Structure 1
Amino acid sequence: MPASQTPLRQVVGLREEIKTINSIAFQVNLLGLNAILLAKQFGEVARGFGVISAELRAFSKQLASHMQAIAQHSVNLVSLETQGLCVQKRHRLLCSAHGRSTSDWLIQAQQRQQGVLSNLQAERESTFKHMREFLGEAYQTCLFGTVIARSARIEAAYAGNQGMVLTTTSLDFSSRVDQVLASLDRLKQATGG
């Protein structure tokens, strides 16, 4: 995410990237289901491919679980950024009124607003920290997904005449996992990881 973006736009960008990963995880799940059906159709020569396809489905569900946790933190970030914008606006209004008034309550209100901003910033940093932890777990899961996708290609090679269809499916798996890794890298950068 470019540094010139406002924090709220950055968080919205994070949410869009999370949606992309969830969509890809769903596609991997469907590909896995399709691959299991193909393996059953092809019988004994594709049994290993069916087992690996089931592993890919489990991978997609685990990835979706990680992304759900990350998405929840991003919802919290949207709330924090929105609150921060409101508090900043009130703080600016208080500062502009400060020049026209000498009242003590105005100074106290400014200090309270500054304290709220500090608390929001601390909570924001904590939320980003938790997101980075979940992203690390999702990344490790995805690396395991690349191993499973490679194994699917190897199993497809042993499928004889049906190998071409299974190879195409395994390449689809690999492509989707690579897309997720790229998206996770972008999310890591955007969260300061």
Structure 2
Amino acid sequence: MRKLGTVDLEILHLAIKENGTFDENNLENSNLKRLGVGRLLDALASLKDRKLISLNTNGSFSITEIGRETLWSENIPKWAKILRLLQVRSCNTNEIADFLREKEENLTEDIEKLRKNQFILMSAQRQEEKIIKVYEILPEGIEKIDSTETLGFENNEISNPTVDTEVFSIINEIIKEIQDSQIEESSKNEIVKKVFKLKEKLRI
């Protein structure tokens, strides 16, 4: 897959939301206007050079088939789309569903399987008095999605996690929550050390 930046992702996502084609008005009415004209033009030119979008005669832009194949092709399994998305940026479940143009309930099983296999990490964050689950890709997840470039998707399915894998996944989440907490730094480091020791013991 051609590597995307966060701005690339936003522009391609805008194209998908606008049924494949967007123009200056769509850009002006989106969050992309925060970038300013110069940076936005550079981003559009870069996407065009990589054949992810094409310029139409009326000045609008259309997402190409190559662009669709990054995240929105029906030939790509949902678990792979999720990993590709999280390679670009961390997302909560609502954002994952929005970017991939899927219903949240259709993604839950794949997200959980990725988490339990230690391909992604979930952390709970408080936003406006609500607890939001935010997911980020782990090194194992990057290795997994990169391997599809040579092995394809058919021979690279995700297996059901073992009990050990699931336990280590939970431990990783605990470590992440401790590191993100407001505990005094010295106390935080001591707790994390103990959890790492527990993790090492469990590998025996």
Q: Which has the higher helix share?
A: 1
TM range (shorter): under 0.3
TM-score, normalised with respect to structure 2: 0.20
Larger relative contact order (CA 8 Å, sep ≥ 6) = 1
Q: Which one has the largest radius of gyration?
A: 1
TM-score, normalised with respect to structure 1: 0.20
